[in-house]
Structure 1
Amino acid sequence: MRSAFSLLAASAVPSPRVGSAVSLAAELVAAIATRASFEFEAWAQRIFRHQFERNAPYRAFCERRGVRPETVARWEDVPPVPAAAFRRAELACGPPEAIFLTSGTTDGAARGRHLVPHLAVYRASALGAFEHFMLPDGAHLTHLFLVPSPELRPDSSLARMCAWVGEAFGRDVEWLVGGDGLDVERLLARLADAERCGDALLLAGVTSAFVQLFDVCAARRLAFRLGPGSRVMDTGGTKGPERRLSRAGFLRACWTVLGVAGYCCVNEYGMTELCSQRYDSVLRDRFDGRGLEPRRLLGPPWLRTRILDPDTLEPVRPGEIGLLCHHDLANVGSVSVVLTEDLGRAVAPDGIEVTGRAAGAAPRGCGLLLAELGLS
């Protein structure tokens, strides 16, 4: 199996019209494929100039703050946009090839819209990070997705990412969530088949779907032992009315119910407003011969995260908790710097830990930025 990086590099041929949006996206795909030599600073400034020129709401926002491409000396100077802005403005540098919607779990019924003009960049970023953190051993596994398929949910960025992952890396692919939710009976039958044959599986989906599976297995006194090399990827936490489960409880259930050890259970941190994701460090660290502690969320070279004070938006001291501000260069077609309402802290020199969400109203810093966007 050729790696995702080699496939991406082979397809990333810049167009003759240098400087065009298409050429920029193609060059970025090629740069993502090289990974080790990724020049974040140069790309950050180039992408900011592109977004300043082509994203009218973002340009107006930057001008109100007195920021232009010629005044940006380093990547940290690029102005962030609050994630809430995606619910109130169309932040895109051109016609979208896809529009992904947030879950709408905050701000009433409003749902954020991420307009993505360059799906090839999103695909490159998603596959590159997934391969690096979930498949460091190059395993070619059957993939069971505990999410709806893109046909059922074309507006879901997670469904689209899983489809790309299955196409690129899956031996077989099955989707276990339909119009009526998780198909528990089919999932249980599939797990039993895998246990009987000794097959290794990759189970990926929202955390709440795994919690539903664990509860059914506990009620029926069921447990499985999946084949060596099996692994779990969960994302999204336990949002909604379902029973909440601590991270330690989740890892314990993966072992007792599925026979998958904690070092093969990887939490993915992503947002509809981002085209890149962070992954639990544990599987990559184990493959590279490093200690498994501290567990932290690692990102690819084209994604950096700063921890900012909720009121001043200045960087906090090392180890302190603040708002997560992501600089995602794969967001080339929208806005690359997104200020979230997620709280977290830096862990080790290369990772972060998400500690929760800002309670109540939007943090003061986010509110001020929304006001400057004219969206408060």
Structure 2
Amino acid sequence: MTEAAIIDALLTFLPQQNTAEDDFNRLALAIFAYQFEHNSSYRRFALQRGRTPFTVKHWRAIPAIPITAFKDLTLSCHDIEDVEAVFMTSGTTGTVKGRSYHPTLDVWKCSMTQNFRQRFMAGRERIRMGILFPDNTTLPNSSLAHYLTLAKHTFGTADSAVMLNDNGLDWDRLFAALEQAEASGEPYALLGASYSFVHLLDELQRQGRRFALPEGSRILDTGGFKGQSREIEADDFYNALTHALGVPREQCINMYGMTELSSQFYDNGNVECPSVKSGPHWIRTRVVNPLTGEEVPEGEIGVLVHHDLAHFNSASALLTEDAGVAVEGGFQLLGRVTGADAKGCSLAMAEFLAAAQGAQ
């Protein structure tokens, strides 16, 4: 299939309400064949594994690239000088940032909006939003900035706003919006990085303030704290949000995503932690032993591998550095890998680099 045919197929597949496993498998194999042909680094790695479009008959056998490969290699089927967007990881100063190239954002936007509507909007067409993160004009290479900007544009009311000024979070504007929501009784949504909410909780405590947002109000947090704030255990974090803002834990949704994918995972609230996360019908997750690549039994801890059809331009199968466990309805995210699993991820990366660079 050509790139245009892949894009057309995805834009047809993503909005479908009911899809069979065979449909996912056929499209996954077609995208693997496309990536095998047009991504030379990935092709050499697949060949070293003895995997080709002729030998791979099921999506589970498609080789997954280590996530850190995005920092070391250009992984794109399309000419990187002719792409609509380049998303970069939020590495610390002085570190190499991973890059994800998007020839068009049509598929990425379709993936985000279809999934967000189902998992966060809870049947509402629009809701007033306060965004606790810069927009995509300020951070043009941030996938999270694009995600939140698209959420506000597609699902936010006209009076939704980014609650930032030159000094960071705009407390006066944000608290005025929260006061108005309390008075009006209209549901309100706060969305941002997890660490932004820590700053909000700290400021509320400093000012001795609390809010009771109306029924139907929702919170979406994403990512970890990344050294941008103090660390808070998940239970304490969501208890503090409920106490400070009046939003019950079942309406506090955590989104799990990454620059190296084009789709996101959500939970159904955080009544219990760790919550169970799941994705849309165009993504599958396996939990593996990184040393062998074999899946571990359900209930055992391993490393998450995601197969994201929407990420068609580089490699749709991704070996993360996230520990997790498969459970009924999805998986639980347990943090970064350590010990033998971390060593296994490092060895997988060394193997990938050796193959991708043509070494023996």
Give the TM-score taking structure 1 as reference length.
Answer: 0.87
What amino acid is the match of 2:255?
E
Answer yes or no: is 1:359 the counterpart of 2:338.
Answer: yes
What is the 5 A alignment of 1:220-231? 220-231=207-218
Deviation, 1:313, is: 2.1
User: Residue 67 of structure 1 aligns with which residue?
Assistant: 51
Q: How far, CA to CA, are the matches of 2:276 and 2:254 in structure 1?
A: 10
8 Å contact kept, 2:291–2:348 = no
Deviation, 1:362, is: 7.8
8 Å contact kept, 1:93–1:117 = no
User: Residue 134 of structure 1 aligns with which residue?
Assistant: 120
Answer yes or no: is 1:87 the counterpart of 2:71.
Answer: yes
Go from structure 1 to structure 2 and tell me whether the alpha carbon gap of 1:178 and 1:113 turns closer, same or farther (over 3 Å shift). farther
User: Residue 303 of structure 2 aligns with which residue?
Assistant: 323
User: Residue 31 of structure 1 aligns with which residue?
Assistant: 13
Go from structure 1 to structure 2 and tell me whether the alpha carbon gap of 1:343 and 1:151 turns closer, same or farther (over 3 Å shift). same
User: Residue 258 of structure 2 aligns with which residue?
Assistant: 271
Give the TM-score taking structure 2 as reference length.
Answer: 0.91
Q: How far, CA to CA, are the matches of 1:365 and 1:147 in structure 2?
A: 34
SS of alignment partner, residue 133 of structure 2? strand
After superposition, give the CA deviation of every residue in 1:83-109 in whole Å (9 maximum; x if it has no partner). Answer: 000001111110322100101159x61
SS of alignment partner, residue 305 of structure 1? strand
Answer yes or no: is 1:307 the counterpart of 2:287.
Answer: yes
After superposition, give the CA deviation of every residue in 1:52-93 in whole Å (9 maximum; x if it has no partner). Answer: 011111111111222110110211110000000000111111
User: Residue 347 of structure 2 aligns with which residue?
Assistant: 368
8 Å contact kept, 1:308–1:314 = yes
Answer yes or no: is 1:197 the counterpart of 2:189.
Answer: no
Go from structure 1 to structure 2 and tell me whether the alpha carbon gap of 1:371 and 1:292 turns closer, same or farther (over 3 Å shift). closer
User: Residue 42 of structure 1 aligns with which residue?
Assistant: 26
Q: How far, CA to CA, are the matches of 2:172 and 2:294 in structure 1?
A: 50
What is the 5 A alignment of 1:13-32? 19-32=1-14
Q: How far, CA to CA, are the matches of 2:74 and 2:336 in structure 1?
A: 25
User: Residue 288 of structure 1 aligns with which residue?
Assistant: none
SS of alignment partner, residue 69 of structure 1? coil
User: Residue 106 of structure 2 aligns with which residue?
Assistant: 120
Structure 1: gaps of 5 or more residues: 1-18, 284-290
SS of alignment partner, residue 163 of structure 2? strand
What amino acid is the match of 2:290?
P
After superposition, give the CA deviation of every residue in 1:245-281 in whole Å (9 maximum; x if it has no partner). Answer: 1221122122211111111110000011010010012
8 Å contact kept, 1:200–1:226 = yes
8 Å contact kept, 1:148–1:178 = no
Q: 1:53 aligns with which of 26, 30, 37?
A: 37
Deviation, 1:156, is: 0.6
Answer yes or no: is 1:97 the counterpart of 2:84.
Answer: yes
Q: How far, CA to CA, are the matches of 1:311 and 1:62 in structure 2?
A: 17
After superposition, give the CA deviation of every residue in 1:323-362 in whole Å (9 maximum; x if it has no partner). Answer: 11111111011110110111010121x2111111123798
What amino acid is the match of 1:54?
H
8 Å contact kept, 1:80–1:339 = yes
What amino acid is the match of 2:128?
T
Greater mean deviation of Cα atoms: 38-47 or 86-95: 38-47
What amino acid is the match of 1:41?
N
SS of alignment partner, residue 150 of structure 1? coil
State how many pairs are aligned: 349
Answer yes or no: is 1:170 the counterpart of 2:156.
Answer: yes
